[in-house]
Amino acid sequence: MSFTIAIDGPAGAGKSTAARLAAKNLSFIYVDTGAMYRAIALGLLRNGTDIENKSELTETLGKMEVSIRYVEGEQHVYLNGEDVSGLIRTERVSDMTSRSSAIPEVRAKLTSLQRELAARENVLMDGRDIGTMILPDADLKIYLTASVQTRARRRCLELTQKGEPCSLEEIEKDISERDYRDEHRETAPLRQAPDAVLLDTSDMTIEEVVAKIVSLAQGRMKS
């Protein structure tokens, strides 16, 4: 039997960095489900698909195959066999991901892939609906959050480090809008599972967040 950890929470709460490091520390496979939604969004953008048009969307989704592989311990995401890991972190893709991930057909396409991964290995999976929908019986659920201001500052820092321009005000607005969409969509809205441990990372360093996740996991594995 595999041990599963579900980490959910809004964008920029430090989820992916902390989750990746915690998974490494625990020797678990890290599954970044956001990357899968991003790969689909990239495909929709490339194809110029009108996502409001159901038949067009269904046809495009039918032609897309998303998979993940691990290269030197890092997750890479593939769209129809092409490694698109380096192309999915732009604001344009983020925006399309937030829209397209609200569509039930898009979510259905990724549900089985995510569940299959968790059935095979000890995984630490992060996303928005992992503890509530994908792995409702996860051995440990964590809801990781931080204030909008903290998250915007972190995102800005990331963009600046990549040499991309950043307006704190615009990023705060984008984050608030995306939160609203993620929390209010009909399908799999972003919600804390009742049995999830709440972790507010606003005043925590990444190292502190990682240590907390690892100690929670070790506690559960012993019991």
Select 122 or 182, whichever has its Cβ closest to ligand DC: 182
At closest approach, how far in Å is the CB of 206 from ligand DC? 16
Which of 112-138 are b and which e, b meaning 16 or more Cβ less than 10 Å from the residue's Cβ? ebbeebbeeebbbbbbbbbbbbbbeeb
Cβ-based nearer residue to ligand DC, 141 or 178: 178
In the complex with ligand DC, which residue's Cβ is closer, 49 or 101? 101
Q: Which is nearer to ligand DC, 9 or 122 (CB)?
A: 9
Q: How many CB atoms lie within 10 A of CB 78?
A: 16
- Structure token pair of residue 132: 């509530």
Q: How far is the CB of 223 from ligand DC (least distance, A)?
A: 27
Which residues have CB under 8 Å from 211's CB, separation 6+? none
Nearer to ligand DC, 34 or 43 (CB): 34
The nearest distance, CB 16 to ligand DC, in angstroms, is 6
Minimum Å gap between C-beta 90 and ligand DC is 12
Residue closer to ligand DC by CB (options 83, 218) is 83
Instruction: Give me the least distance between CB of 91 and ligand DC, in Å please.
Output: 11
CA distance 15 to 17: 6
DSSP string, 159-191: HHHTT----HHHHHHHHHHHHHHHHH-SSS---
Enumerate binding residues for ligand DC (CB under 6 A): 11, 33-34, 37-38, 97-98, 101, 127-129, 178, 182
Closest CB 187 distance from ligand DC, rounded Å: 9
The secondary structure of 97-142 as a DSSP string is HHHHTTSHHHHHHHHHHHHHHHHHS-EEEEESSIIIII-TT-SEEE
According to DSSP, the β-strands at 66-71 and 74-79 are: antiparallel
- Tell me which residue of 47, 40, 44 sits closest to 65, measured CA to CA: 40
